[in-house]
Amino acid sequence: MAAPLLYHEKQVSLLCGVHALNALLQGPYFSAHDLGTIAQEFDEKERQLMASAGVESADFLRYMAEDSGNAAANGNFSIQVLTRALEAWDLRCVPALSSSAGSAWREPQRERAFLCNLDQHWFAVRRCDARSATVHREGEAHAECNWWNFNSVFPAPQPISELYLAAFLAQLKDEGYAIFVVRGHLPPRFPDADAAASGDAAGEYGMWVSADDAAALNKRAEEIKNAGRARNAAESALAKIGAAGRTTLSVVGGALGVGGGSRAPTGGGGGTDEDAELQAAIAASLGRAPPGVREGSSADPSSSSAAAGSAPDADLAAALAASLAGTRPPRDPDPDLDAAIAASLAEESGSRETLARHSVPPEPSASDPEALVLAIRAPDGRRVTRRFRRSDRVGAVAAFAAAATGADMARHALATAHPDRLRLADENQTLEDAGVKDKSIVAVEPR
C-alpha cells in the first residue's frame, strides 16, 4: 500500500487563510474567490448596521472610508469568514480557551484539529494518518493520530509529537496567538489524492508529499538557513576586522593563516576563500583559533601578543557565537527596563485576576427594553454582534470578547469606536454608567 500523503500549501501573498483551510481539510477545496464572496456578504451586513444611524452621518461616512474588516486587499481574511466557510462542512471553530471548548486546552490530543492566528497570519494543526518515523510513535500509521503543523511559511508540513502538542499550543498562546479548536467530522481522503503524483490534484497553490518527502524538504531548508546565517556572520566579522585595521585572513599551505596581506589560494588546499572565511567565523564563535592559525600571531610586526586575545576580538567572538546560535548577546543590567518589565507583568497578572471575576451573562431577547446591540471588533478586524443589558458590567463584555475572538484580554482593552470614542477601563462599571449606547462598536485594542 502506498504511503499516506499530506496536502500542503506554501505561502502566496497573504492568502494564509485559504492555505490554512485547505490544509485543515487536506485538499484544494477553497480559493481566494470563494472566501472573498463570503467576506462581501459580511461587509454588506455591517454596512446595513452602520447605516441605521444615518447614511449621512460622519460615523457612517468614516466607516465607509475604511478598508473591509473581513478581507484585506492583499488576501487576508477574518475568523468569521473562515468560520462561515467551514460551516459548509458542518465544522465549527471554538476558541480553545473558552468554556464551550470543554477540555480542549487541557487535553488537546483528544481533538482533531486547531486553527491558529496572530495578526494577519493563519495556519492549521491537525491529525493525519501519515507518520514521521522520527517523531510519531510506532503502530500509529493509518490511525489518524499523528499531529502535523501545516504552517504555510514552511516548505512542507512539520510533525508534532502527541506529548509535545500541549506545550506547542501553550507556546503559541504566550506569543499572542488566538487558537481555535475545530469541531465536527473532517472530510475523508481527498477524492483525487491518488492522482497527486502527477500533480493533477494539487490545486493552484498546493502539493502532496509523503512524511519522508516532508522531512527531506524541511531538512534542506534548515541547512540552507544555517549556511546563510554562518556566511552572514563571516562576512560581518571580516568587515569588522578590515575596518579596524586588524589581522586579515590568508590561506597558507591549504590552511588558514594570519597576515597583513591579501588572501590567495594555494595549490595544496583545494578550498575556496569563502570556505576559509566561514571556517574562521565558526572557529571564532567557538572561542578558539581557526585551523592553521598560530596562537600569538599578529599582522603587526611590533606586537608580540595575539590579535585573537584582545578585548575587541573577544567581543567579536561573542557576537559571532550569538549570531550563529540565532540569539543576541546578553544585555547589560538596566534597572529602569527591569522595573518597567516587572510593572508590566504585575499589570498583566492583575488584569487576568479581574477578568476571572466576570462571566458571560445570558443574552437578552431583542424585545428586552434594556438590551443593547454591540458589535465587538477583534484585533484582526472581524466583528461579532451580540446583545447585552445596560446593567451588564464592562467585564462581562470583556469576557465575551475573549471567548468570541480568542483575544488575550490581559494584553487587550475595550474601547468604543462608534458613535463615541470611550476607553472602557473599569471592568466593574455597568455599560450604562460607562456611556455605552445601543448599536455601539466596541473595539478590542492592544493595551
Tell me the average confidence (pLDDT) per consecutive run of 10 residues in the chain, 447 residues long: 83 86 93 86 75 64 57 69 90 92 93 90 92 70 73 93 91 92 88 55 76 91 83 74 56 44 43 54 50 44 42 55 49 56 49 63 90 84 85 92 81 77 88 90 83
Q: What is the mean pLDDT of the chain?
A: 74
Residue 375, φ and ψ in degrees, nearest 5: -105, 110
pLDDT value at position 292? 47
Do residue 63 and residue 204 come from a single domain? yes
Domain CATH code at residue 398: 3.10.20.90
Calpha distance 351→341 (Å, rounded): 15
Give the C-alpha distances (Å, rounded to integers) separating 411 from 81, 340, 379, 393: 24, 15, 11, 19
Over residues 397-410, the pLDDT tens digits come to 998 888 887 777 87
Pairing mode, if any, of strands 440-446 and 371-377?
parallel
Question: How far is 104 from 98, CA to CA, in rounded Å?
Answer: 9
Same-domain pairing of 118 and 46: yes
Q: In whole angstroms, what is the distance from residue 276 CA to residue 270 CA? A: 11
**Final residue of a domain: which of 209, 236, 267?**
209
The model carries a pTM of 0.52
Q: Which of 8, 19, 121, 412 is catalytic?
A: 121
Same domain for 161 and 26: yes
Domain hosting residue 308, numbered range? 227-325
Dihedral angle, C-alpha 11, 17, 18, 21, nearest 10 °: 110
Same domain, 152 and 48: yes
State residue 227's pLDDT score.
82
How confident is the model at residue 317, as a pLDDT? 57
Residue 220: inside a domain, yes or no?
Answer: no
pLDDT attached to residue 3: 73
Q: Are residues 158 and 261 in the same domain?
A: no
Clarify whether 16 is annotated catalytic. yes
Does residue 34 share a domain with residue 172?
yes
360/402 Cα distance (integer angstroms): 10
Q: Domain containing 45 — which CATH number?
A: 3.90.70.40
Q: Is residue 341 part of a domain?
A: no
Q: What is the pLDDT of residue 165?
A: 93
- How many independent structural domains does the chain possess? 3
**What's the DSSP call for residue 13?**
T
Question: Please, how many CA atoms are within 13 Å of residue 356, restricted to the half-sphere of its CB?
Answer: 6
Residues 6+ apart with CB under 8 A from 236: 319, 320, 323
Q: How far apart are CA 330 and CA 332, in angstroms?
A: 7
Do 433 and 376 sit in the same domain of this protein?
Answer: yes
Burial of 369 (0-12, 13-18, 19+ CB in 10 A): exposed
**Bridge partners for 196 per DSSP:** none
Catalytic status, residue 121: yes
> What pLDDT is attached to residue 214?
93
Cα–Cα distance for residue pair 241/161, rounded to 1 Å:
45
Please tell me which residue in 8, 16, 70, 128 is annotated as part of the active site.
16
CA dihedral sign, ordered 131, 137, 138, 142: negative
Angle at CA of residue 221, ends 219 and 224, nearest 5°: 110
Kindly state whether residues 178 and 244 are assigned to the same domain.
no
Pair (142, 236) in one structural domain: no
**Residue 215 within any structural domain of the chain:** no
pLDDT of residue 43: 76
DSSP secondary-structure letter at 192? Answer: T
**Residue 37 neighbours by CB distance under 10 Å:** 13
Q: What is the pLDDT of residue 396?
A: 92
Tell me: do 232 and 319 sit in the same domain.
yes
110-138: b or e for each residue (b if 16 or more CB lie within 10 Å)? ebbbbbbbeeebbbbbbbbbbbbeebbee
What is the per-residue pLDDT for 41?
Answer: 84
Active site residue 151: yes
Choosing from 93, 151, 358, 412, the catalytic residue is: 151
